[in-house]
């Protein structure tokens, strides 16, 4: 839900080709630089000075990301580790390229890209190969996830994963959909694109300097980087406000963060050696990073202007250069554990996310705190092994380093094709099962078994029906059992009151409005069928994480504002339509502002009543439903490998005890409250399977199949409401 830069290749005191470069290499006048014979690689043209505190900064970045993925509620802004690494990359790569340009007058692109390939691809492709092999196993990868898994492995292999996610509008911070094992490769893809574009920008600036400005390459490069940085930041802010989902992944929206690191590398005044200023700057930067890690969350408009905080914080830490006393941040960040974590940060980042995704599907592996800590330890071990036996040997392999750069590039392409071919094989092996699953799901929706799903609890004559081990849809295929009309569902900062119309076109048909967040949207397919069968006209208004409620969300910034604007737009749209009944649903865990009430709960109750009151004042009845349980993780991960009875959840852990929607509806004339809690749970336990039906497609959204089994109760409630309104 967050990526990173590659770590330094420094090992045993020897810096790699892309290790931290000493600022003095850039500040020295060109006439003092001793040129090496052309037979030597430009990466060795000048000695470089390793900066241990940057390695410690890498450790902070990778720990932010990893801990965020393991415990998102504890470190909700840990995704800013990505931004830290972008700044580090901009600093290191620009310093390296500029040093080469000063020493040789140019940049040997082939050698630069070949070094990047040898440095990054072996570990990256190893993990991608592991993910492709895992995709072949229905025990490790649900069949329903196979198409996305294969596509994203291929996209990650060729370093375009960020564009794949941008074009598919993945909401990384709010975890919409089911993330694949390789979703974290978006940042690696963005960095590879940076490695391609950045030296070209520097070369173009140097060429312009030589041709038009008397050869002042440094000034030309500074102007070019400054212009790119400013334009990219402006684009990032505007695009985040207007289209936040793709804005997180788009390359140009992140270039300014590399540019900030580059400016620290190129401008001597930005590298502070004064003891007091270095102390204040370094520790101030660290405090800023800690603030963002703990105070930012999935609702923070990001990257946008908010990304300036972690970016500036990281730049401040790099710029703090004084190392004279132990209390300087440069010395604290250079302690052995931090340097070790920085050394393995690249491999640690590569391994941790696939293991998090796959672990819950492994037989006998649980999700307790002990399992998570053990998994974190496994990630560190795998990262160290990969660093020791893959990263370092591949970077120094003489068969490639002693030969022309094009050999490294062709070898890289061959390895990438091998990984992509393995992903294709995973699809070929499982494609028949996927097609069978699609067909079985369609058949199940059309002709469910008797006493299936909620009917096993609610219908007379169904008590005691035993479905044995039957779970429909199968746990490996529940993820696709969702409404199809995603164009009716707006998300993030989109405030448009988008409406969709279904059912009867007869002007005399009663109009039923279905309004709410994703827990209302999960009922769409069921309500489409109900409208068709009963001769209703169905109109819908959905916005993710934004219930139909007049109380503002406690979420600050653009998302909360968009929710308020969407509600106003829906109110205006409803005022202009003839509505005969309204059905609304909402997740019970929505964060509301207290809005002058004693508690956010009381404010939420009042907000529901205010929103519904406008309908009730017009004589329009409202039907609503108590929310379903919300699980910590998708129950299907458990159901794929364990007995159904082992996947139950404690009622106290998964069911919100006080749903404000229930309180708002109780005793309010004109409002019908449906409560299916006894279908989901008994007095102590909630179940992932009821009457042979698989209830959930993820941790809190119902399958369409199960929602269909509640259709008789939904239909009866709406029919009664329409009858009560009839003159």
- Calculate the alpha carbon distances from 450 to 460, 461, 465 in Å: 12, 10, 9
Element spanning 66, H or E: helix 52-70
pLDDT band (50, 70, 90) for residue 411 = very high
| pLDDT in the model for residue 39 | 39
Using the 3D structure, point to which of 413, 428, 443 is the last residue of a domain: 428
Strand partners, 685: 650
Q: Is residue 440 part of a domain?
A: no
The tally of domains found in the chain comes to: 2
Place of tokens 């969300």: 553
Looking at the structure, tell me whether residues 339 and 277 fall in a common domain: yes
**Mean pLDDT over the full length of the chain:** 88
| pLDDT in the model for residue 90 | 96
Looking at the structure, tell me whether residues 88 and 197 fall in a common domain: yes
pLDDT in tens, 653-671: 999 989 999 999 999 999 9
pLDDT in tens, 146-159: 999 999 999 999 99
Burial of 373 (0-12, 13-18, 19+ CB in 10 A): exposed
| pLDDT in the model for residue 314 | 97
Looking at the structure, tell me whether residues 516 and 378 fall in a common domain: no
Using the 3D structure, point to which of 428, 443, 471 is the last residue of a domain: 428
Residues with Cβ within 8 Å of 340's Cβ and at least 6 positions away in sequence, in order, are 59
CA quadruple 209, 213, 219, 225: dihedral positive or negative? negative
Looking at the structure, tell me whether residues 371 and 473 fall in a common domain: no
Q: Is residue 30 part of a domain?
A: no
Burial per residue of 152-188, b for 16 or more beta-carbon CB atoms within 10 angstroms, e otherwise:
bbbbbbebbbbbbbbeebbbbbbebbbbbbbbbbbbb
Looking at the structure, tell me whether residues 322 and 466 fall in a common domain: no
Q: Do the Cβ atoms of 466 and 437 come closer than 8 Å? A: no
**CA-to-CA distance for 390 and 393, rounded, in angstroms?**
6
pLDDT in tens, 279-311: 999 999 999 999 999 999 887 888 999 999 999
Looking at the structure, tell me whether residues 501 and 548 fall in a common domain: yes
| pLDDT in the model for residue 3 | 40
Q: Do the Cβ atoms of 439 and 146 come closer than 8 Å? A: no
Which range marks the domain in which residue 243 is found? 52-428
Token pair listed for 552:
């503002």
Q: Is residue 621 part of a domain?
A: yes
| pLDDT in the model for residue 64 | 98
* pTM as predicted: 0.83
| pLDDT in the model for residue 14 | 28
In the predicted model, what is the mean pLDDT of residues 89-106? 92
Pairing mode, strands 537-543 and 489-490: parallel
Looking at the structure, tell me whether residues 501 and 372 fall in a common domain: no
| pLDDT in the model for residue 460 | 87
| pLDDT in the model for residue 27 | 36
Q: Is residue 327 part of a domain?
A: yes
Q: Is residue 186 part of a domain?
A: yes
Tell me the three state secondary structure of residue 519. helix
pLDDT > 70? residue 9: no
Looking at the structure, tell me whether residues 490 and 528 fall in a common domain: yes
Q: Is residue 42 part of a domain?
A: no
Of the ranges 18-27, 195-204, 297-306, which one carries the lowest mean pLDDT score?
18-27
If one counts every other C-beta atom within 10 angstroms of the C-beta of residue 81, the result is 33
| pLDDT in the model for residue 43 | 37
| pLDDT in the model for residue 169 | 65
Looking at the structure, tell me whether residues 373 and 505 fall in a common domain: no
How long is the chain? 727
Taking CA 40 as the corner, what is the angle to CA 265 and CA 415, rounded to the nearest 5 degrees?
80
pLDDT > 90? residue 24: no
pLDDT > 70? residue 21: no
Tell me the three state secondary structure of residue 494. coil
Q: Do the Cβ atoms of 434 and 474 come closer than 8 Å? A: no
Looking at the structure, tell me whether residues 416 and 495 fall in a common domain: no
Burial per residue of 191-212, b for 16 or more beta-carbon CB atoms within 10 angstroms, e otherwise:
bbbbbeebbebbbebbeebeee
Residues with Cβ within 8 Å of 243's Cβ and at least 6 positions away in sequence, in order, are 493
**CA-to-CA distance for 687 and 649, rounded, in angstroms?**
6
pLDDT band (50, 70, 90) for residue 627 = very high
In the predicted model, what is the mean pLDDT of residues 7-19? 31
In the predicted model, what is the mean pLDDT of residues 481-486? 92
Place of tokens 């364990």: 642
pLDDT > 80? residue 2: no
Q: Which residue has the higher pLDDT, 556 or 62?
A: 62
Which residue, among 92, 34, 529, 144, has the nearest Cα to 315 in the 3D structure?
92
In the predicted model, what is the mean pLDDT of residues 204-221? 86
Q: Is residue 505 part of a domain?
A: yes
pLDDT > 90? residue 52: no
| pLDDT in the model for residue 717 | 97
pLDDT in tens, 496-544: 999 999 999 999 999 999 999 999 999 999 999 999 999 999 999 999 9
Using the 3D structure, point to which of 428, 446, 467 is the last residue of a domain: 428
Of the ranges 279-288, 446-455, 551-560, 625-634, which one carries the lowest mean pLDDT score?
551-560
Looking at the structure, tell me whether residues 404 and 549 fall in a common domain: no
pLDDT band (50, 70, 90) for residue 50 = low
Strand partners, 673: 624
Looking at the structure, tell me whether residues 569 and 458 fall in a common domain: yes
Q: What is the CATH number of the domain that holds 675?
A: 3.40.50.1110
**CA-to-CA distance for 480 and 704, rounded, in angstroms?**
9
In the predicted model, what is the mean pLDDT of residues 687-704? 95
| pLDDT in the model for residue 15 | 30
pLDDT in tens, 265-276: 999 988 888 999
Q: Is residue 362 part of a domain?
A: yes
Token pair listed for 249:
């992944």
DSSP 8-state assignment for residue 678: H
Please report, rounded to a whole number, the percentage of residues in the chain having pLDDT higher than 70: 91
In the predicted model, what is the mean pLDDT of residues 560-567? 92
**CA-to-CA distance for 536 and 143, rounded, in angstroms?**
36
């Amino acid at each position: 839900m967050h990526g990173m830069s590659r770590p330094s290749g420094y090992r045993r005191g020897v810096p790699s080709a892309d290790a931290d470069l000493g600022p003095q290499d850039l500040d020295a006048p060109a006439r003092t630089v001793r040129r090496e014979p052309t037979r030597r690689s430009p990466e060795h043209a000048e000695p470089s000075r390793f900066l241990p505190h940057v390695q410690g900064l890498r450790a902070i970045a990778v720990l932010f990301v990893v801990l965020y993925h393991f415990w998102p509620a504890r470190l909700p802004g840990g995704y800013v580790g990505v931004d830290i690494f972008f700044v580090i990359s901009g600093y290191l790569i620009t310093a390296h390229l500029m040093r080469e340009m000063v020493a040789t007058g140019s940049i040997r692109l082939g050698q630069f890209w070949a070094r990047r390939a040898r440095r990054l691809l072996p570990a990256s492709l190893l993990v991608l190969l592991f993910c492709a092999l895992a995709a072949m196993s229905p025990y490790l990868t649900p069949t329903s996830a196979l198409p996305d898994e294969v596509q994203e492995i291929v996209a990650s292999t060729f370093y375009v994963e960020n564009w794949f996610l941008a074009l598919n509008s993945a909401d990384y911070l709010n975890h919409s959909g089911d993330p694949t094992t390789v979703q974290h490769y978006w940042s690696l893809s963005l960095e590879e694109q940076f490695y391609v574009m950045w030296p070209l920008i520097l070369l173009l600036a140097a060429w312009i300097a030589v041709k038009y400005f008397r050869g002042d390459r440094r000034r030309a490069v500074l102007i070019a980087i400054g212009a790119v940085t400013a334009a990219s930041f402006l684009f990032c802010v505007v695009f985040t406000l207007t289209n936040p989902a793709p804005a997180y992944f788009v390359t140009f929206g992140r270039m300014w963060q590399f540019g900030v690191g580059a400016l620290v590398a190129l401008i001597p005044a930005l590298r502070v050696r004064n003891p007091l200023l270095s102390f204040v700057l370094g520790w101030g930067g660290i405090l800023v990073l800690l603030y963002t890690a703990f105070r930012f969350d999935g609702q923070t408009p990001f990257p946008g202007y908010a990304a300036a905080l972690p970016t500036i914080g990281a730049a401040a830490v790099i710029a703090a250069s004084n190392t004279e006393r132990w209390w300087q941040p440069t010395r604290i960040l250079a302690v052995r554990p931090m340097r070790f974590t920085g050394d393995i940060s690249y491999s640690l980042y590569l391994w941790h996310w696939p293991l998090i995704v796959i672990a819950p599907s492994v037989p006998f592996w649980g999700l307790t705190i002990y399992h998570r800590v053990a998994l974190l330890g496994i990630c560190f071990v795998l990262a160290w092994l990969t660093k020791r036996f893959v990263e370092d040997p591949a970077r120094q392999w003489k068969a490639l380093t002693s030969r022309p750069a094009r050999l490294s590039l062709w070898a890289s392409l061959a390895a990438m094709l091998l990984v992509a071919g393995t992903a294709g094989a995973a699809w070929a092996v499982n494609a028949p099962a996927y097609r069978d699953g699609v067909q079985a799901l369609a058949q199940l929706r059309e002709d469910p078994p008797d006493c299936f799903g909620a009917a096993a609890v609610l219908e007379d004559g169904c008590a005691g029906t035993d479905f044995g081990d039957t779970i429909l849809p199968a746990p490996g295929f529940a993820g696709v059992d969702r409404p199809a009309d995603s164009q009716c569902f707006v998300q993030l900062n989109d405030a448009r009151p988008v409406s969709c119309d279904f059912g009867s076109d007869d002007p005399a048909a009663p109009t039923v409005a279905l309004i709410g967040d994703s827990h209302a949207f999960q009922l769409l397919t069921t309500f489409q069928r109900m409208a068709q069968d009963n001769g209703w006209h169905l109109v819908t208004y959905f916005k993710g994480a934004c219930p139909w409620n007049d109380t503002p969300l406690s979420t600050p910034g653009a998302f909360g504002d968009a929710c308020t604007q969407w509600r106003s737009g829906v109110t205006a749209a409803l005022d202009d339509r003839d509505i005969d009944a309204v059905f609304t649903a909402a997740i019970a865990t929505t964060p509301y502002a207290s809005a002058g009430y004693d508690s956010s709960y009381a404010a939420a109750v009042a907000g529901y009543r205010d929103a519904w009151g406008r309908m009730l004042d017009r004589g329009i009845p409202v039907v609503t439903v108590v929310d379903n349980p919300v699980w910590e993780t998708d129950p299907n991960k458990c159901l794929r490998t364990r007995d159904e009875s082992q996947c139950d959840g404690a009622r106290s852990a998964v069911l919100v005890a006080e749903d404000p929607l229930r309180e708002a509806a109780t005793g309010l004339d004109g409002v019908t409250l449906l409560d299916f809690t006894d279908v989901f749970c008994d007095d102590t336990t909630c179940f992932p399977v009821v009457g042979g039906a698989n209830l959930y497609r993820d941790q809190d959204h119902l399958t369409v199949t199960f929602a269909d089994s509640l259709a008789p109760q939904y239909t009866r409630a709406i029919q009664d409401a329409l009858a009560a309104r009839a003159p």
